[in-house]
Structure 1
Amino acid sequence: MGNTIELKDCVLNLCPLDNNEWDTVYAEALYRKIEADASLLQQGGICDFVAFVRSGSFVYSTFLDNGDRFTTDFAFAGDWVSDIYSRLNRSPAFLNIIAMEPAEVYVFENNVLEDLYKRIPRLERLGRILTENAFMRMVRQTLNLQISDATERYLNLLQEQPQIIQKVPLYHIANYLGIAPKSLSRIRKNVAGRH
């Protein structure tokens, strides 16, 4: 399963809390083990949670009308996962969030989060930072797909998420980069030849 990142370290790094506040937050977290290939969220369902990935990895994907699967993102230990659009609008999820390996998560359901925000107002800072980070990641990926060539997209991905080659099947990486698996193999060979 690889790295394990603790929820407390991540939360306190983004939002300093005293011991009583932390104990309140931790008491509301639902610990779950997720098997490989199991869904944390299925496309079409309503996303009513935010989850912290303690260990393992996830792939975000959606099924297109023609049945093809399109990979939109990845999450690793220390990341937060959710379908923000579905969660905030209470609308059907566009995304599947699927474990690529056995994983452990701490889940915060929406109603619990809202209650925590009322009880610990400065915890809203955590929610704001997570939403801002998700937005910046989405913008970066959209721009990357629109203005970078395939080799640049691959190199950007390696720079931003170096663990990805060890953790993610190449067909997911190729799909995420918007290229065919054969093109990714060629790019990887060319990049390796330069170093």
Structure 2
Amino acid sequence: MNSDLLKRSTEAIISLSEAEWQQLLELFEVRILKKNDYFLKEGEVCTSIAFINRGTLIYYKLQDSGNEATTDFAFPGDWVTDNRSRLSHNPSYIHIKAIDDCELLVISNNNLNYAYQQIPKLEKLGRILIEQAFVKIAQHSIDLQTLTAGQRYEKLLHEHPEIVQQVPLYHIANFLGIAPKSLSRIRGK
């Protein structure tokens, strides 16, 4: 298991001894997703969290019209889960799908709770990750209401310059709340 990226990401928030790292790593499993494989499907209860070692995933809701409403992206170094479903034990409203081949390090809720008991400082990591996820969702909601489509696109490019090489443009347009033709016009400027 290649855990270098996970270790760097975690150590930016908390420090673990080598023994604690080994104890924690034993609770993860490697999961490979091929392009278009699902980490989570709508209607399933989310029972784990994954750290992305390689690849890109999208979060989306399938609308009654059959169209996908893209709600988020996840890149290497990001954590992937449906916190609403995972924490409430209710079926997910969204899909989380690989848009290219992915390598994930997955920890089940049961193993995560065990890790919190065995290594209490991991609770700080969990709290900070939940806070970061909340801030990200709140900021996206504010951006949809206050920024122009062009400003939202520029902000997305600034935060994730690699996105146009990794994510189909219709997903980007959908995430920004605009039609693909409008995104083409914005990109043309």
Q: 1:161 to 1:5 in 2, by over 3 A?
A: farther
Q: 1:5 to 1:156 in 2, by over 3 A?
A: farther
Between the aligned partners of 1:109 and 1:14, the Cα distance in structure 2 is 21
Residue 182 of structure 2 aligns with which residue? 183
Between the aligned partners of 2:105 and 2:128, the Cα distance in structure 1 is 18
CA displacement 1:31-78 (0-9 Å, x = unmatched): 111100000000110001110000000011011233321000000100
Residue 114 of structure 1 aligns with which residue? 113
Between the aligned partners of 1:5 and 1:39, the Cα distance in structure 2 is 24
Give structure 1 regions of 4+ aligned residues with deviation exceeding 6 angstroms: none
- Alpha-carbon offset, residue 5 of structure 1: 6.2
Between the aligned partners of 1:90 and 1:39, the Cα distance in structure 2 is 19
Aligned partners of 1:5 and 1:78 also within 8 Å = no
Which amino acid is 1:123 matched to? L
Residue ranges of structure 1 left out of the alignment (5+ in a row): 191-195
What SS class does the counterpart of residue 52 from structure 2 fall into? strand
Residue 160 of structure 2 aligns with which residue? 161
Aligned partners of 1:158 and 1:164 also within 8 Å = yes
Residue 58 of structure 1 aligns with which residue? 57
Residue 172 of structure 2 aligns with which residue? 173
Over the matched positions of the two proteins, sequence identity in percent amounts to: 43
Residue ranges of structure 2 left out of the alignment (5+ in a row): none
Structure 2 length-normalised TM = 0.96
Aligned partners of 1:117 and 1:123 also within 8 Å = yes
Is 1:127 matched up with 2:126?
yes
Which amino acid is 2:23 matched to? T
Which amino acid is 2:84 matched to? Y
Aligned length: 187
